[in-house]
Chain A
Amino acid sequence: MSERAFTRVHGSVREYEVFARKQRIEPLRLIGSVVAPDDDLAAAYARATYDEERWIEMAIVPRAAITTLWAPGQDDQP
């Protein structure tokens, strides 16, 4: 998955996907994304933006760390 280029306040920022779940029996699911220059600020932004609900777990992953095998609209789906 390619990383989009953002030109904002910081010279270089990354997009992070935010995952969370409300109960132990649930899997983590994608609930949104944030853009930040580093992991610390991304964590602070994710918590500030998505903490309205009573999540028992929240995690962030740099979008660039996700390897997409196939996606809607792509021809190489098995």
Chain B
Amino acid sequence: MSLPGLVLSLADNKQLLGLRYAEWATRAPSLEADIAAAAMGLDDLGHSRVLYGCLEPLGEDPRGPERETDPASHRALPYFDQPWTSWPQFVAANAVLDTAFSVMIEACVDGGVEVLRSRLRKMLSEERYHFLHGRSWLKAGIDHEPLDEAWRQAVEWFGPPDGDVAGLRRQGSLSMGPGELAARLEERLERAAPPLEVDWSAWDPARRRGRPGSIDGRTFEMLRGLEEKRFYPAGA
């Protein structure tokens, strides 16, 4: 995959992460957590807009017309396919996946591509608070099931040891390869990843995920701007 393909994957994942965070803005365990969910959702939606805006300067926009009709053309991880039904799912995404995306952004900011070095830097200062939020809730303890799933998907998202991200690292576009990204993630979270065996033969290199599926229909309609039409006056 090209660097624009990776940036599009990052953008699509940030967009879905932001939407899923926002869905918890009135359902989190405390008022403070509600507000944090809303604020983090806004941050990540904003980050996705910045990332989409990097595609043209990178010289290639991999988005095609199929994105209007095929939800599986979006490149978000399986973790975001459906709305989260429990707070531990939120915490695992916040702690592990959001931090995994930040670690990749670090690799872009410290890499050799100027548009990413300059435009993504500010995201890291905002992401610091997402990290503090996720790590603190993680320390409070959550079920291991969503946590293990988030770890698996983070490792899959970084890609195979000899794959595209490793190639971008060798070219100097990124400052870290898959192994270094995973190690940085473990270091940040102050815990080791659970034992994982990834079947890379089933891995989709465009969507950076190990299993098929797509975002739910309502979210897909929202992304296309159709959901809001339900609120239009009749005949509009």
Interface residues of B in 216-235 (CB under 8 A from A): none
Asked whether, in the complex, the Cβ of B32 is within 8 Å of the Cβ of A35, the reply is yes
Decide if B35 touches A48 in the complex (CB within 8 Å). Answer: yes
Q: Is B236 an interface residue (CB 8 A)?
A: no
| Contact mask for chain B residues 123-164; partner A; CB cutoff 8 A; 1 contact, 0 none | 000000110110111011000000000000000000000000
Chain B hits for A9, CB < 8 A:
29-30, 33
- How long is the Cα–Cα vector from A9 to B36 in the complex, in angstroms? 15
Give the interface segment out of A20-28, A38-46, A66-74.
Answer: A38-46
15 CB contacts below 8 A, A to B, read A8-B29, A8-B30, A35-B30, A35-B32, A37-B136, A37-B140, A40-B132, A40-B136, A44-B36, A45-B33, A45-B36, A47-B39, A48-B35, A48-B133, A49-B35
A60, B129: Cα distance in complex, Å = 14
Q: Which residues of B contact A44 (CB under 8 A)?
A: 36, 129-130, 132-133, 136
Which residues on B sit within 8 Å (CB–CB) of A38?
A: 136, 139
Please state if B30 and A48 are interface contacts (CB–CB under 8 Å): no
Query: Shortest beta-carbon distance, B76 to chain A, in Å?
Result: 24
Chain B contacts for A36, CB-based, 8 A: 32, 136
Contacts of B181 in A (CB 8 A): none
A35 to B30, CA, bound (A): 10
Residue of A nearest to B34 (CB): A48
A10: chain B residues at CB < 8 Å are 140
B residues 61-108 near A (Cβ < 8 Å) are none
Taking beta carbons and an 8 Å cutoff, which residues of A are in contact with B?
A: 8-10, 34-38, 40-41, 43-45, 47-49, 51
Q: Which residue of A lies closest to B40 (CB)?
A: A48
Name the A residues within 8 Å of B139 (CB-CB): 38
User: B38 contacts the other chain (Cβ, under 8 Å)?
Assistant: yes
Q: B126: nearest residue on chain A (CB-CB)?
A: A47
Cβ B32 vs Cβ A34 within 8 A: yes
Docked complex Cα distance between A48 and B41 (Å): 11
Write the nearest CB–CB distance from A72 to chain B, whole angstroms: 27
CB-CB contacts below 8 Å: B11-43 with A: 29-30, 32-33, 35-36, 38-40
Evaluate contact between B140 and A48: CB separation under 8 angstroms: no
Residues of B within 8 A of A35 (CB): 30, 32
> Closest Cβ of chain A: how far from B33's Cβ, in Å?
8
CB distance from A14 to the nearest CB of B (A): 12
A62 to B85, CA, bound (A): 33
Q: A35-B30, A45-B36, A49-B32 are in contact. List 8 more A-B contacts (CB 8 A).
A: A9-B29, A37-B140, A41-B136, A41-B137, A45-B32, A47-B129, A48-B36, A49-B35
